[in-house]
Structure 1
Amino acid sequence: MTVVPSVSSSADFEHMFALAPVSLWLEDYSALRQLFDVWRAQGVTDLREHLAADPDRLRQCTASLRVLRVNQRTLELFAAHSQEELLSNLAQVFRDDMHEQVVHELELLWSGVLEFSNQTVNYALDRRRLDVRIRGRILPGHEDTWSRVLVSLEDVTPQVQAAGQLQRSERYARGLFEHSPVSLWVEDFSVIKRLMDEVRHQGIRDFKTFIKVHPEFVTRCMKEIRVIDVNQQTLQMFGAQSKAELLNQISRVFRGEMHDSFAEQLQDLWDGKLVQQREVINYALSGDTVYIHMQFAVMAGHEGDWGLVLLSLVDITARKQAEAYLEYLGKHDVLTQLRNRAFYVEELNRFRRKGPWPLSVIAIDLNGLKIINDEQGHAVGDAMLRRAGEVLAKAVDSAHCAARVGGDEFIVLLGGVDERGAVAAQERIEQMVEMNNQFYPGQPLSLAMGRATCHAGDQLDEALQRADQGMYQEKKRFYQEHALNRRRPVPIN
């Protein structure tokens, strides 16, 4: 079948122009063409540079453009009641930031291109700002004069506003991320997901046992964490000057105890827990330990690949140090730094339940403390107690318990030590007393000691009593040798 084109009248084209659903402008650029010819004759080769040298030249260009006709959609878009109203107010339509964009169109025409497109800004007569996409074409037959140019305008204001809102939202989100008072990490766990899927496909069901047998799997997964971004608080927390410095030394941050906590994290992921929180230990670039409360979440939309993970880290180092100090105070005597009576009682109960046996006990009393306190003051007495603490801390191995259990009373518990070992321990204490007295001039330190050994829990109370009796006998001998009683001062060597 042959299609015979119909012959349209000029009236049809008039209707097409007038009723087109886009804004159409028929314009005359011949004056612009003549202006360009003058400038070329003057030796101008770089139009942009020429226009930048004198702002009036750009206004010459725009003033040379003559609008011949516009269609109905143009009048609607620019809130004009008639073509005459629009054309008489073109200075309100083409103004401000529009002039910054028109240079691109002029450059294309200067270079000989017969059509152009651009995005710019116009203004409706009701003062609305319009973001428009411009497309222009010098019509056939007018290439030499530019006397007929057809320009279409597409209103893209909603798209531009939406893009602007998106950019503002992104800047807002970026600002929240960068300046959050909490350390934030954006990470990619997709390789870890793949590795764990491979293990599952191999038929592994008991993941906990698997990573115990294959700890290298945990190490490999740690190495596959890809850090996408961190915020400013993160740099401050870990002592890094820049993101590059931190990320290039990430192995110094995630090490040591992190292996075990990361294994727990992998176990939770294996069990489908995509939101987690736990306390972990990291390290600053300075090497300092950083105790952290970590919250971990696979971001929505990435549950299938773990490609985007958000971690927030709160530095709880100060809290941990306070807790450790409180725990220390609960188990130590502040004055002597030895274990306190509460810890000593716990140790006795533990020994009663499970040993180890034999258990040797050394009961110790500081000779003459009451006399020192009465005659020289409690500050001197406290100094003597501190010296006793120094002696026992040096002489008693850290695996054993040396405790201050009363005002001037001390106990040493030696688990797994027989009579011979107890004798050796007492001799070490006596040697340390001699060294201490050489170091501290003036008031000599004197300790009365008694020891006993038992081989079962039901003998423990009896052993403690025998040690006490031995200590009191030594204390009595001390006062008899010096012809003293507790009301008279201890001689100074």
Structure 2
Amino acid sequence: MPHFDSSIFDLAPIPMWLEDFSEVKLQFDQWRADGVEDLVSFLQEDIQRVVASTHKIKIIKVNQKTLEVFEAKDQDHLCENLSKIFKEDMLGTHIFELAALWEGKNEFSSTGVNYTLSGKRLDVQLRASVLPGFEQDLARVLITTEDITTYQDAQRLEAKNRILAESMFNYSPASLWVEDFSRIKRRLDQIRQLGIEDFRTFLDVHPDFVQQCTEDIILLDVNQATLTLFKAPDKPTLFKNLNKVFMQEMHNTFREQLIELWKGNIHHQREAVNYALDGSIRNVLLQFTVFPGYEHDWGMVQVALTDITARKKAENYLEYLGKHDVLTKLYNRSFYTEEINRLERSFIRPVSCIFLDMNGLKQTNDELGHDIGDGLLRRVGAVLNQVILNTPYTASRVGGDEFVILMPSADEVATLSVLQTIQELFNIDNQYYSSQPISISIGHATSQPNESIEALLKRADNDMYIKKKNHYAALN
């Protein structure tokens, strides 16, 4: 066996096969004579041609490691069970091994699947070399089949985990952004080296620094939930319109984020306001994190945005309900109480107030029903809301048919002007609803020097009571 060291072969730590491909070479010669040029296509047309070629390969010798790996007693036992070792899994790979020999290559390698005689799957790295002196007839080809199952299992696990991670990213119900903050990291490091310690004051003095940092962000990727949340048809459209998503409200949020990063908080969260591409508002809970392994440069960070728009609307509505009367849309008695306490504590003077009380509401409810009465109350609310529009004044429903307008900094002249507006608006409203006119008794007062808010309110209430008494006296 010239040019072959049998002792190295027998002691090699990986499976080695010495094989005779001379009959395969003769088959190649016949195919060439028949006009075959593209061997790969030729073999793929009929897989039985590949099977026939494998049967022409003769195994001359295998080493001890081959017998161990493939669980064979001896070489005869191995050769008698080659069909168990080389199943159809290998045929596709074998096509390209044959093609390498067809092209005159004396060395080639590939990965494939073999099986032990007990049926255990083996991922193998196959390497083949035509021994020197046998290049023309391929009578001696040395083949190694290194078991790389552990490596391939790791590769498959890595691929599975990558697909899982990509799926979790793409199909997450939260909006996910992957960004590069490395330029921001360098910028913060530079000003720290300049001796800056009070970063918040630095930002107060240099507000343009925040804008510079926003321009340093490199957006790497977003998931489908992001496109859905911001009503973008695709990623390029979203990327080109980020100025519509992050408007002025986001400037202060990002400023606070920079302060968190300056403090070393690379995982933080806060509420923010963004906008969809159609202009609709998006209240979000922003959760920022620097990915593990990127703590040194912030080269990859994730921003997760959870849509809390519905929650914020509910919170705002609950807050509204806490301060407003649902029927009239005016402030309620709770707000009114807080407001008079605030005015009592403040130095704002003068303060004026107007008390209003509907005449005959109980009779309307009794004779025509509460639905009609509620309609009258809604009309009063609409008029009073119109009166205080674009003013610092407040109008509250403080009882069933009682209303109060509080007017900080309003003197007697301003109060009389408001009273005139109230009368005019009710006249217009009653003309429109002529079948159900609203009758109101109105009292007013303007604070006197050193007078308490409580005393002021009592004077206005008394004035309204006198007007109401006169109204009913006139009816009788």
Query: TM-score when scaled to structure 2?
Result: 0.95
Whether 2:438 is the aligned partner of 1:445: answer yes
**Residue deviations 1:135-174 (CA, integer Å, cap 9, x gap):** 1122222222111111122221111111111111222222
Whether 2:41 is the aligned partner of 1:49: answer yes
* Partner secondary structure for residue 35 of structure 2: coil
Name the counterpart of 2:329.
337
Structure 1 contact 253–285 (Cα < 8 Å) conserved: yes
Whether 2:426 is the aligned partner of 1:433: answer yes
Whether 2:475 is the aligned partner of 1:474: answer no
Residue of 121, 144, 152 corresponding to 2:144: 152
Residue of 207, 222, 234 corresponding to 1:242: 234
Structure 1 contact 78–123 (Cα < 8 Å) conserved: yes
Q: Please give the residue correspondences for 1:145-224 in structure 2 after superposition, counting only pairs within 5 Å.
A: 145-224=137-216
Paired-residue identity, %? 45
Name the counterpart of 1:454.
447
Deviates more, 1:259-268 or 1:219-228: 219-228
Tell me the distance in 1 between the aligned counterparts of 2:88 and 2:250. 59
Tell me the distance in 2 between the aligned counterparts of 1:434 and 1:266. 57
* Partner secondary structure for residue 41 of structure 2: helix
Give the deviation of 1:46 after TM superposition: 0.8
Residue of 394, 404, 413 corresponding to 1:411: 404
Q: Which amino acid aligns with 1:394?
A: Q
Q: Please give the residue correspondences for 1:7-18 in structure 2 after superposition, counting only pairs within 5 Å.
A: 13-18=5-10
Return closer, same or farther for 1:473/1:12 CA change in 2, 3 Å cut-off: closer
Name the counterpart of 1:24.
16
Structure 2 contact 180–300 (Cα < 8 Å) conserved: yes
Query: TM-score when scaled to structure 1?
Result: 0.92
Residue of 91, 111, 122 corresponding to 1:119: 111
Whether 2:39 is the aligned partner of 1:37: answer no
Return closer, same or farther for 1:277/1:64 CA change in 2, 3 Å cut-off: same
Q: Which amino acid aligns with 1:452?
A: A
Name the counterpart of 2:281.
289
Give the deviation of 1:456 after TM superposition: 5.5
Whether 2:323 is the aligned partner of 1:323: answer no
Residue of 424, 427, 431 corresponding to 2:417: 424
Tell me the distance in 2 between the aligned counterparts of 1:169 and 1:353. 64
Tell me the distance in 2 between the aligned counterparts of 1:456 and 1:231. 65
- Gaps in structure 1 of 5+ consecutive residues: 1-8, 485-493
Tell me the distance in 1 between the aligned counterparts of 2:8 and 2:447. 114
Q: Which amino acid aligns with 1:203?
A: G
Whether 2:222 is the aligned partner of 1:230: answer yes
Q: Which amino acid aligns with 1:308?
A: M
Return closer, same or farther for 1:98/1:10 CA change in 2, 3 Å cut-off: closer
* Partner secondary structure for residue 214 of structure 2: helix
* Partner secondary structure for residue 97 of structure 1: helix
Q: Which amino acid aligns with 1:300?
A: P
Taking only aligned residues, the RMSD between alpha carbons, in angstroms, comes to 2.0
Return closer, same or farther for 1:456/1:112 CA change in 2, 3 Å cut-off: farther
Q: Which amino acid aligns with 2:19?
A: E
Tell me the distance in 1 between the aligned counterparts of 2:2 and 2:429. 120
Deviates more, 1:459-468 or 1:418-427: 459-468
Tell me the distance in 2 between the aligned counterparts of 1:203 and 1:433. 67
Q: Please give the residue correspondences for 1:393-408 in structure 2 after superposition, counting only pairs within 5 Å.
A: 393-398=385-390, 399-408=392-401
Tell me the distance in 2 between the aligned counterparts of 1:10 and 1:327. 95
**Residue deviations 1:16-53 (CA, integer Å, cap 9, x gap):** 22112222211111111111111111111111111122
Tell me the distance in 1 between the aligned counterparts of 2:133 and 2:454. 120
Structure 1 contact 332–340 (Cα < 8 Å) conserved: yes
Structure 1 contact 47–110 (Cα < 8 Å) conserved: yes
Give the deviation of 1:10 after TM superposition: 7.9
Whether 2:151 is the aligned partner of 1:143: answer no
Tell me the distance in 2 between the aligned counterparts of 1:66 and 1:122. 18
Name the counterpart of 2:82.
90
Tell me the distance in 2 between the aligned counterparts of 1:34 and 1:446. 116
Structure 2 contact 3–131 (Cα < 8 Å) conserved: no
Give the deviation of 1:338 after TM superposition: 0.5
Deviates more, 1:364-373 or 1:39-48: 364-373
Deviates more, 1:306-315 or 1:413-422: 306-315
**Residue deviations 1:189-222 (CA, integer Å, cap 9, x gap):** 1111111112212222111111122222112222
Name the counterpart of 1:369.
361
Structure 2 contact 128–142 (Cα < 8 Å) conserved: yes
* Partner secondary structure for residue 136 of structure 2: coil
Residue of 245, 259, 263 corresponding to 1:253: 245
Name the counterpart of 1:131.
123
Q: Which amino acid aligns with 1:384?
A: L
- Gaps in structure 2 of 5+ consecutive residues: none
Name the counterpart of 1:489.
none
Tell me the distance in 1 between the aligned counterparts of 2:264 and 2:329. 47
Tell me the distance in 2 between the aligned counterparts of 1:424 and 1:230. 58
Structure 2 contact 344–452 (Cα < 8 Å) conserved: no
* Partner secondary structure for residue 88 of structure 2: coil
Deviates more, 1:325-334 or 1:183-192: 183-192
Tell me the distance in 1 between the aligned counterparts of 2:371 and 2:449. 41
Give the deviation of 1:223 after TM superposition: 2.7
Q: Please give the residue correspondences for 1:476-491 in structure 2 after superposition, counting only pairs within 5 Å.
A: 476-481=469-474, 483-484=475-476
Tell me the distance in 1 between the aligned counterparts of 2:314 and 2:139. 85
Deviates more, 1:413-422 or 1:444-453: 444-453
Tell me the distance in 2 between the aligned counterparts of 1:203 and 1:363. 62
Tell me the distance in 2 between the aligned counterparts of 1:300 and 1:347. 52
Tell me the distance in 2 between the aligned counterparts of 1:11 and 1:433. 116
Q: Which amino acid aligns with 2:439?
A: S
Name the counterpart of 1:491.
none
Structure 1 contact 136–150 (Cα < 8 Å) conserved: yes
